Structure 1
């Protein structure tokens, strides 16, 4: 499929090293040797990569690769760096070790590029037709070293850390054939297609390198697959690896909900953009957390009782979100996010569509399919609305600028998140698209909705699974085709402004137009309590202005500008005592309630070796967000969340 590439950025960078000449002047040293930029030409030959994934005790992946070459000279092999779905440079280069290169049985010397440290230069001798490469990926053995991708019972193999690819070519123009050896008796699932299986070794069909990196593998000792669309146009499967066999004894009704998710997606988009789709799911509390989209699959870590626990106390929209990405993000993709290979930097200006609208449809589809109840969906929306309506960082930083956050912070921990802001294009993006949906429904008296936009924008070219890029103007044009309006101003005001239209708060018009309003009560919702339990915190952000780690009573967060902040509390403080008693979260809640009548809140806190007495002036009582129905107004939110017939 033809791709639109705007403002193509070369991966070549100039060295900043300086050389002094005899006259004292300085000149820049050019890169030597130069890494060839990617070209839209076919690679001369098929790469072969073989991964031994059997060393689960030491969590080591051993990789062997054969790279055909057509000429002598500088061959540059690279480890993928800018990874789709992560929107930033998230290379695993620091965990690569033991790199050995040879040809015709003789060792060759490699040299790491001084600028692009994920690239290795190899001087190929005359007469050599293929180069052999070996290395190990040393997966983290502790959480401190990174995300856990291997446990005694499962693994998550991603080819961006288990293969190198040659510079100078579009990734889609590099043919490759992969082989993986799994531990004895383990099942596996992937977006790749199996060619043959010999014992525990699986050979996958030849594909291109772009597709290989987009096709991770989940494998495990306890593995099961369900067909989610029997008789459908193409296979859609739910593949689950679990920590124990009993966690695969799924509730039949819950599998039916996943089947319904597929049908609701088809009704929304009117198309599919894959020749098969595989949900890769780890029901585990040992494998590292992940929710990552791919064109024909998705990587999802869920709670270990995901399939077997009927009671739900937190949102279950992860699979719906990542599934939506097959249409939004993988098929339709912002023009400045598309890159020809994995070393060219991505630009994230349209993530409020890529992630923001996916966040919206993920929650809508979760409700429409029954993954979430309507009540749970409304509670989730209340949490989102409250979070962004109490966001002091909005005063200085526009939502559009947060699309740079994957590059700026790479999801590193922040002490003052609400003031610094983070990847807010996800959930504030959701609020913007809810605003647009309810506006269209109101103006057309229910005849049209954002569903029409989803069908017209993401549903094009049914059956195709390349990439169809778009720009801001394309989004506006499609919206105008649904309902004529000044959509450019609508979007830019919300993306570039600082909440001026909402007194500095979040864009909540979609909620009020939808027949509800955000209010606060003194009792947390089931979802609120579920999220607290999952995160192991007590969240008092909307009252006194902090959240507490339940394990050690340290402050997990302090809301900038809140009563707690004004009193001088800081993230990391340990709460030692309250009103003369040993600190306890229940005692804290009683103190907040009693303070409504004027009783002061006095805390003793510890930071490092220093103790302080802190008096907090707060009389507002406990406050937990919820949505309240506004009687006499159209219940557009109910319509949005209802099953699509």
Structure 2
């Protein structure tokens, strides 16, 4: 017999193997018929839902914040056991707060929590973390135990690479949600807490809490509900100054300053007057207040982590060194206090219904953030101008930058603004590769443009008789003196607008919130008497912001921003830099063969304005690789400005003028 050819042999072997495979598959299928398929394990229902009933005891909370070298806060809590549970013994679930007001997301510092020990009557109890809700700890309370003693540490970040730094050699920031557990099953407003804090010797502090006693370095605060405690953080420092912003007023307001260096606390009378005017202008705007005292907490620092966070009777803020001592250079940071102060009315008192929750472990829904943050961003600029924290021309330059950023942000063509209200949960402010395409928390500043649009429209429709100020007083100024949060939904906002100026406000808002578009809502500029233009003259707000943040801003020319070390912080989607294949985090080494610095790049952009000029050559370091990228850009330096339109009334001037 002739031997089989290689091809026939290969086919025969393939057929044989396939047959074996089919037999194996048949046998496997047979085995599968007798083996049950997996089914989901039911999620445990082991944590009681919050109820609006008294907890029945006061938690004693003690925090030692003196270990500055290791950035550790040591915590001890004595938690009462509810009477019914003490009679029988059983499970006491304790929560670590996760869904934090103002963050709009589950950003609790659970990863910094450590060293948990729980005792009852001196006996250590074997706590168990919940396998589904990992911020909950089950405590097996023995029968007859009326309290449990809880100890743990907050292992706060030592450097920025690990997270926000809250302890430095000169200052610290105590956020009570990071140093406390609370019992599940109750609205937090029903859980009283008496907190005490040990500070480094000689340090002073600012907080909305009020002390009931002080012994050495330990201050004990008056008991408050747990939700009020979390809403009342503390700044303390080696270098501290407290300034009265409402002298002689029945409702006190104070500016509490801490600084890296004592010289940063030198404040002029004119600067104090501008901060006092902020209080005056806010009260004139809203015609009410929702606090019995208010404490601005302001850290002037390059070491403590940056923050701007609202609370009902206080706010946490950070500014640069030079906030006061280099007043003319740092104005881009001075809308922050006005923004956070506004939140006492918009966000803390009036709050979107989806952003109110009975405790700090119930998810929040941010659909209303275009009001909560968007209108607050608008008010921050307006009040800063009216108070003299920023001049009107400076605010107009700031608005030009906002308009330009959002008018050129390509992500608006696929993602509507309302969807960005989910970003606190989606991204949690992590760096984004292509922010201008992905979009981020755009409800802040694009929301600001919507409210400028609404303000100018109300003024136009009413012939100047009404404005968004009237809406603010009508909507946020109710129940003067009340601390109770008043929730609202979309239709309530529409009604408030219609109460002041009838119009189809629902359609107006839906078009701007729910639909994609090529351009930002810039009608507030044109209706207000301005147009957005670009020139080669620097925008003063952009320059101030770049100086404070140590960045070089070429966003409207090449389409990129560059950090202090030459590292690209952002590349605009669709820009000349993007077209050339440049991405963020690359480091600029040289420009046209010359070592990089911002002035060298500016000169190269100017020289390349001639249409016949060679492309700009950037030598970039991308990890371990060096690449030279050519950018064929000939548009010159471009900075946004608002230019007056002849023949139109200057509404912006009126909006930004102080009230009397």
TM bucket by the smaller chain? over 0.9
**What's the CA shift for 1:245?**
2.1
C-alpha distance in 2 between matches for 1:99 and 1:593 = 61
C-alpha distance in 2 between matches for 1:194 and 1:491 = 46
2:131 is matched with which residue: 96, 114, 129?
Answer: 114
> Aligned pair in 2 of structure 1 residues 375, 95: CA closer, same or farther (>3 Å)?
same
C-alpha distance in 1 between matches for 2:469 and 2:93 = 46
Please state whether the residue corresponding to 1:632 is helix, strand or coil.
Answer: coil
Matched, 1:562 2:564: no
Matched, 1:284 2:301: yes
Q: Where does residue 35 of structure 1 map in the other structure?
A: 47
C-alpha distance in 2 between matches for 1:124 and 1:389 = 59
Please state whether the residue corresponding to 1:77 is helix, strand or coil.
Answer: strand
1:573 is matched with which residue: 572, 586, 591?
Answer: 586
Q: Where does residue 242 of structure 2 map in the other structure?
A: 225
**What's the CA shift for 1:580?**
4.2
Q: Where does residue 427 of structure 1 map in the other structure?
A: 445
> Aligned pair in 2 of structure 1 residues 555, 59: CA closer, same or farther (>3 Å)?
closer
Write the mapping of 1:296-375 to structure 2, written as runs, cut at 5 A: 296-315=313-332, 316-375=334-393
- Count of aligned pairs: 621
**What's the CA shift for 1:514?**
0.9
Please state whether the residue corresponding to 1:28 is helix, strand or coil.
Answer: coil
Q: Where does residue 9 of structure 1 map in the other structure?
A: none
1:517-566 CA distances to partner (integer Å, 9 max, x unpaired)? 11111121222222222222221121122222342x33222211112212
1:510 is matched with which residue: 524, 527, 535?
Answer: 524
Please state whether the residue corresponding to 1:239 is helix, strand or coil.
Answer: strand
Task: Work out whether residues 388 and 505 of structure 1, in 8 Å CA contact, stay in contact via their aligned partners in 2.
Answer: yes
> Aligned pair in 2 of structure 1 residues 304, 21: CA closer, same or farther (>3 Å)?
farther
Task: Work out whether residues 575 and 583 of structure 1, in 8 Å CA contact, stay in contact via their aligned partners in 2.
Answer: yes
1:622 is matched with which residue: 637, 640, 645?
Answer: 637
Matched, 1:538 2:552: yes
C-alpha distance in 2 between matches for 1:618 and 1:307 = 40
Task: Work out whether residues 313 and 526 of structure 1, in 8 Å CA contact, stay in contact via their aligned partners in 2.
Answer: no
> Aligned pair in 2 of structure 1 residues 160, 575: CA closer, same or farther (>3 Å)?
same
The Cα RMSD (Å) is 1.6
**What's the CA shift for 1:582?**
4.0
C-alpha distance in 2 between matches for 1:538 and 1:211 = 41
> Aligned pair in 2 of structure 1 residues 452, 289: CA closer, same or farther (>3 Å)?
same
Matched, 1:547 2:541: no
C-alpha distance in 2 between matches for 1:172 and 1:102 = 26
Please state whether the residue corresponding to 2:354 is helix, strand or coil.
Answer: coil
C-alpha distance in 1 between matches for 2:305 and 2:370 = 26
> Aligned pair in 2 of structure 1 residues 518, 44: CA closer, same or farther (>3 Å)?
same
Write the mapping of 1:235-250 to structure 2, written as runs, cut at 5 A: 235-250=252-267
Q: Where does residue 11 of structure 1 map in the other structure?
A: none
> Aligned pair in 2 of structure 1 residues 131, 505: CA closer, same or farther (>3 Å)?
same
**What's the CA shift for 1:61?**
0.8
**What's the CA shift for 1:96?**
1.1
> Aligned pair in 2 of structure 1 residues 586, 189: CA closer, same or farther (>3 Å)?
closer
**What's the CA shift for 1:33?**
5.9
Please state whether the residue corresponding to 1:160 is helix, strand or coil.
Answer: helix
Moved more, 390-399 or 597-606: 597-606
Write the mapping of 1:438-457 to structure 2, written as runs, cut at 5 A: 438-457=456-475
Task: Work out whether residues 281 and 301 of structure 1, in 8 Å CA contact, stay in contact via their aligned partners in 2.
Answer: yes
**What's the CA shift for 1:313?**
4.0
Write the mapping of 1:138-537 to structure 2, written as runs, cut at 5 A: 138-315=155-332, 316-499=334-517, 504-537=518-551
Moved more, 314-323 or 540-549: 540-549
Task: Work out whether residues 591 and 601 of structure 1, in 8 Å CA contact, stay in contact via their aligned partners in 2.
Answer: no
Task: Work out whether residues 578 and 601 of structure 1, in 8 Å CA contact, stay in contact via their aligned partners in 2.
Answer: no
Task: Work out whether residues 560 and 569 of structure 2, in 8 Å CA contact, stay in contact via their aligned partners in 1.
Answer: yes
Q: Which has the larger radius of gyration?
A: 2
C-alpha distance in 2 between matches for 1:533 and 1:310 = 12
C-alpha distance in 2 between matches for 1:208 and 1:313 = 38
Please state whether the residue corresponding to 1:136 is helix, strand or coil.
Answer: strand
**What's the CA shift for 1:384?**
0.6
C-alpha distance in 1 between matches for 2:33 and 2:423 = 41
Task: Work out whether residues 322 and 330 of structure 2, in 8 Å CA contact, stay in contact via their aligned partners in 1.
Answer: no
TM-score, normalised with respect to structure 1:
0.94
1:413-465 CA distances to partner (integer Å, 9 max, x unpaired)? 01211111000000000000000000011111111000000000000000001
Bigger helix share: 2
Matched, 1:44 2:56: yes
C-alpha distance in 1 between matches for 2:544 and 2:472 = 31
C-alpha distance in 2 between matches for 1:219 and 1:549 = 30
C-alpha distance in 2 between matches for 1:532 and 1:153 = 26
1:212-257 CA distances to partner (integer Å, 9 max, x unpaired)? 1101011111111111112223111111112222222211111111
Please state whether the residue corresponding to 2:236 is helix, strand or coil.
Answer: strand
Please state whether the residue corresponding to 2:478 is helix, strand or coil.
Answer: coil
**What's the CA shift for 1:622?**
1.0
C-alpha distance in 1 between matches for 2:45 and 2:580 = 58
C-alpha distance in 1 between matches for 2:411 and 2:255 = 40
Q: Where does residue 68 of structure 2 map in the other structure?
A: 56
Task: Work out whether residues 561 and 570 of structure 2, in 8 Å CA contact, stay in contact via their aligned partners in 1.
Answer: yes
Task: Work out whether residues 206 and 256 of structure 2, in 8 Å CA contact, stay in contact via their aligned partners in 1.
Answer: yes
Matched, 1:636 2:651: yes
**What's the CA shift for 1:312?**
3.4
> Aligned pair in 2 of structure 1 residues 286, 578: CA closer, same or farther (>3 Å)?
closer
1:38-83 CA distances to partner (integer Å, 9 max, x unpaired)? 1111102111101111212222111110111121200001110000
> Aligned pair in 2 of structure 1 residues 221, 581: CA closer, same or farther (>3 Å)?
closer
Moved more, 288-297 or 628-637: 628-637
> Aligned pair in 2 of structure 1 residues 245, 516: CA closer, same or farther (>3 Å)?
same
